[in-house]
Amino acid sequence: MTEPTEQGRLTSRSIRSFVIRNGRLTKAQAAAIETLLPKFGIRFDSNQPLDLANLFGNNNPVWLEIGFGNGDALIDMAVRYPDVNFIGVEVHEPGVGHALIGIEANELSNVRVVQHDAIEVLEIMLSQQSLARVLLFFPDPWRKKRHFKRRIVQPEFLTLVASRLSDNGVLHCATDWADYAQWMLEHLEACPQLSNTAKEGKFVARPESRTKTRFEQRGERLGHDVFDLVYTRL
């Protein structure tokens, strides 16, 4: 799979899948960003891809979580899978601060965070076949039809993700919005580089690796179904 040209990069797009919201930053989160981000953060760099083995000091597989929210799932996975390296990408500052507090509190050495657009991180900072798993849990569904173009799951995005996955690498998506679940399914089924792990080509039961977040638990109490899709790179 060839690399996109500068003109063809997704990073040149004018439509983003997120909007920066000015959430409340607590004193603890602000302090974490000031003191812990230099230790556990990765500065966005458009010059060259990351050397992941050097970054983590080992050759363990790397999982990337796109839009980790407050970082609870990211931290839990890092605790449960100490032989996996994790990179979490999030644009919202309070979530980054919350995650940094969790990394420090759990004394984790296998997590790094990037406060930046995940598509730019994938496209510019990560090499082809460098990731064992890409995780996309509960992205913004952009529910109004006129906003569907903002949904992160698009053909170009899936082609990019597939290029960054190693052989038999995994893309795991989850949503509690039924319409978006069908959208994801249709686009994933149409991606020639990815294969559905579900026997009937549809959804799977929640894998043990995916932590059930407080957001998800709240949704379940409200009667929301949750849809998981797990695809492997061919």
Cβ neighbours for 42, distance < 8 A, ≥ 6 positions apart: 50, 55, 87, 112, 113, 114, 125
**Domains of the chain and CATH, by start:** 25-233 (3.40.50.150)
pLDDT digits (tens, 9 = 90+) for 15-25: 554 455 656 89
Asked whether residue 9 carries a pLDDT value surpassing 80, the answer given is no
Candidate list 140, 179, 225, 228, residue with the active-site label? 140
Is the predicted pLDDT of residue 80 greater than 90, yes or no? yes
Do 91 and 123 meet the contact criterion of CB atoms below 8 Å apart?
A: no
pTM tops 0.75, yes or no: yes
Share of the chain above pLDDT 90, in %: 77
Q: State the Cα torsion 95-100-106-112 to the nearest 10°.
A: 100
pLDDT in tens, 178-233: 999 999 999 999 999 999 999 888 999 999 999 987 778 887 888 889 999 999 99
* Residue-averaged pLDDT of the chain: 90
140 as an active site residue: the answer is yes
